[in-house]
Amino acid sequence: MFKLIHAEFYKIFHRPAFYILLTVLPLLAIDLVLIAIRGRNAGTMTGAFDVAPQMLSYPAALLPFVTELTLGEELRDRTVKNTIEYGTGRGIYFVSKLISTILIGMLFILLVYGAYFAAAAFSLPPGKGVSPGLARAIFSRIGTAAAVYTAASAMSIFLLTIFNRSVLAIFTYYGLFYISELFLDVFRLSRLSDYTLHAQISSLTGEDPPNLGFILAVSAVTFLVFSIGGLAVLRKKDLA
Amino acid sequence: MNSFIIETLGVSKRYRGFTAVSDMDIQVKKGAIYALVGQNGAGKTTLLKMLCGLTPLTAGKIRLFGESTARGLQNARTRTGAMIETPSFLPYLSAKNNLEYLRLQRGSGSKRSVSAALDFVGLGDTGTKAFSKFSLGMKQRLGLALAIMDGAELLILDEPINGLDPIGIKEFRDIILHMNKENGTTVLISSHILGELSQVATDYGFIDHGRLLEHITASELEEKCRRSADSQSQKEDISLEDYFIDLIGGGKADV
């Protein structure tokens, strides 16, 4: 497993698209500092902390591009056969891709928030001051969002194992993630809309204090469902 | 313990409404170069995919190096090099980086084994050229480099000389023969170019419509071809191609 993850990072570090994301994402984060200047507690570090949770919905939108880097291209270019024909179990392969996706996703999140808070600290005055309570509240939201992204990674990888075309998987992901509540309404299942990943992210970006335990539980169940589903599909898949 | 490196016992593969391989029993001895001969769609690639774990079996059992459990087969496959259909690699990586990526995945050998494999197939000087810019022949060579990189005891090669020029075909043949004679590597190979197969094979398996029609050694085949030519009062022995066409019933052989 470790060997596969190590190799995954070797591959990613030789991927031009990775460096494009590595450059563009922090720049976008720094851009958001400018928004913080216009927002509440205008032009202060406190304002930057106020705006930070609103960024939590963006990583979910970027996740399909990370799964494309890890698993999507392997399925599309049919390079997965080079791994499986050497005797690597499909389960090990699937889990290693999932872990790699999560690690790379976390790397991006750290980078984005690192750039954001560093830019804010360098360019903005402290304002009313950042209390430990405010920092704890913000970082606990970011940490809980990581669990939602982990579940979204499993969903994205599950879709890639079903569809051989990455584009189809990406669009289905966006559909499932962003407009699942709409579908639930159509099928008169709106009582389930509190359990979607999008609802959890909305809760984390909202003004009201989120129920972190509930969000973690929904993320864990979603992660398990899509991981088991993806593994089952991959086990039966013709890989050559 | 028997000396078979590969055994399939009643192996079948059915897709929706179509049987690609039906109740196939083949046995490949250690040190053999076993040629799978069959028309397009006969089931050769499907059989090789099943041996490599790329497609699940519908029925039957596979034994590699005497191992038939799921874990045993996984271990056996680490002793196997394979090239199934067109070689596939990451298009933006060079030959060296592609092999290094797979070496890291496998945790096998050293960086020198990558360079040695590339030198062996004549791709040692491709530098940073991306795989996407390789000719078909170069892609085939890289596929072979991957197959031999870890000192495989068994090579499973599906149409390995497709796209190679005559010099490439000869070099390929020399590599196979070298590995077989010097290292005792067992080879299971399928090809449409029967003349080429006849220069390396020690055993033949003729398959048609997913079934094994006949297994025969090279010397038995030679003898049969000679006898067949005598019975037809021909001056020259009949070829492997003629024998195969005759075997499948004289139909238009797409070989």
Residues forming a β-bridge with B205: B36, B215
Model pLDDT, residue B237: 55
Q: Is the pLDDT of residue B236 over 60?
A: no
> Exposed, middle or buried: residue A163 (CB in 10 Å: 0-12, 13-18, 19+)?
middle
Which of B55, B56, B77 is opposite residue A87, by nearest beta carbon?
Answer: B77
Question: What is the distance between the alpha carbons of residues A37 and A23, in angstroms, rounded to a whole number?
Answer: 22
* Highest-pLDDT range among A127-136, A145-154, A163-172: A145-154
Which amino acid, residue B226?
R
Q: Is the pLDDT of residue B234 over 80?
A: no
Model pLDDT, residue B230: 64
Question: pLDDT for A48-64, tens place per residue?
Answer: 777 778 788 888 888 88
**In angstroms, how far is CA B48 from the centroid of its own chain?**
8
Tokens of A24: 């563009």
Neighboring chain B residues of A85 at a CB cutoff of 8 Å: 52-54, 77, 80, 82, 84, 156
Which residues of chain B approach chain A closer than 8 Å at the C-beta? 45, 49, 52-56, 70, 73-78, 80, 82, 84-85, 88-93, 97, 100-102, 104-107, 146, 150, 156
CA of B82 vs chain A CAs: smallest distance (Å)? 7
- Residue B255 pLDDT level (bands cut at 50, 70, 90): very low
Which of A10, A81, A238 is opposite residue B88, by nearest beta carbon?
Answer: A81
- Residue B235 pLDDT level (bands cut at 50, 70, 90): low
Model pLDDT, residue A120: 80
Model pLDDT, residue B254: 44
Neighboring chain A residues of B113 at a CB cutoff of 8 Å: none
Q: Is the pLDDT of residue B59 over 50?
A: yes
Question: What is the distance between the alpha carbons of residues B189 and A102, in angstroms, rounded to a whole number?
Answer: 40
Question: What is the distance between the alpha carbons of residues A69 and A19, in angstroms, rounded to a whole number?
Answer: 12
- Residue A148 pLDDT level (bands cut at 50, 70, 90): very high
CA of B71 vs chain A CAs: smallest distance (Å)? 8
In this structure, the strands spanning B80-83 and B4-15 are unpaired
Which of A10, A81, A89 is opposite residue B100, by nearest beta carbon?
Answer: A10
Please give the mean pLDDT across all residues of chain A: 85
Question: pLDDT for A176-234, tens place per residue?
Answer: 888 877 777 777 777 777 888 888 988 888 878 888 999 999 999 999 999 999 999 99
Q: Would you call A16 and B92 a contact, using CB atoms and an 8 Å cutoff?
A: yes
Model pLDDT, residue A220: 95
Query: What ipTM goes with this model?
Result: 0.84
Q: Is the pLDDT of residue A165 over 80?
A: no
Q: Is the pLDDT of residue B222 over 80?
A: no
Neighboring chain A residues of B45 at a CB cutoff of 8 Å: 240
Neighboring chain B residues of A238 at a CB cutoff of 8 Å: 49, 54-55
Phi, psi of A6 (to 5 degrees): -60, -50
Interface test with A, best of B58, B79, B105 (most A CBs within 10 A): B105
- Residue B253 pLDDT level (bands cut at 50, 70, 90): very low
Which amino acid, residue A169?
A
Average pLDDT over residues B66-83: 90
Q: Are B142 and B121 in contact (CB under 8 A)?
A: yes
